[in-house]
Amino acid sequence: MVLLLTAGLAFAKGYEVSKKAGDYDVALTFDRNPPIAGDNMVNIVIKDAAGIVVKDAQVKVEASMPAMPGMPPMSNKTEATAKGDAYEAKLALSMSGPWNIAVKITRAGKSASMKFTVDAR
């Protein structure tokens, strides 16, 4: 029974992406793996070059899908709010398929961004 519970928790891990954004190390985690068409909660942890958690930045997240035959391009922007050592945002992906995700960090008048692609199910 404990083994099954442990195995279930191991598979409950969200979809994670870690990348550099300028001088920052950024770790973004979706609450679902893979992300889904619909509302997804994202958790973003930002660390500076010294490895110290950044808590005073403005963080915006944008999801976009390029135009496809018979469909216009789609995008959704949201601002993440600080919560403890991280930032959280609700990101709506309106349909399944590949989405380009951009995280823009603004702090002390300087901006940095990271980009990656997810496949929503």
Q: Would you call 93 helix, strand, or coil by DSSP?
A: strand
- CB 24, CB 103: distance < 8 Å: no
**DSSP single-letter state for residue 71:** B
Side chain identity at residue 2, one-letter code = V
Q: Which fold has domain 11-120?
A: Immunoglobulin-like (2.60.40)
- pLDDT at 110 (0 to 100): 97
* pLDDT score of 86 more than 80: yes
Closest by CA position to 22, among listed 106, 116, 112: 112
Query: What is the per-residue pLDDT for 112?
Result: 98
Q: Using CA atoms, how far apart are residues 29 and 21, in angstroms rounded to an integer?
A: 15
Three-state SS for 59?
A: strand
Q: Domain extents for the chain? A: 11-120
For 49, residues 6+ apart whose C-beta sits below 8 A from its C-beta are 23, 24
Mean pLDDT (whole number) for 31-35: 97
Mean pLDDT of all residues in 72-76: 95
Tokens of 29: 């985690």
Predicted TM-score (pTM) of the model is 0.86
Q: Dihedral, CA atoms, 19, 119, 93, 63, nearest 10 degrees?
A: 40
Q: What is the mean pLDDT of residues 2-30?
A: 76
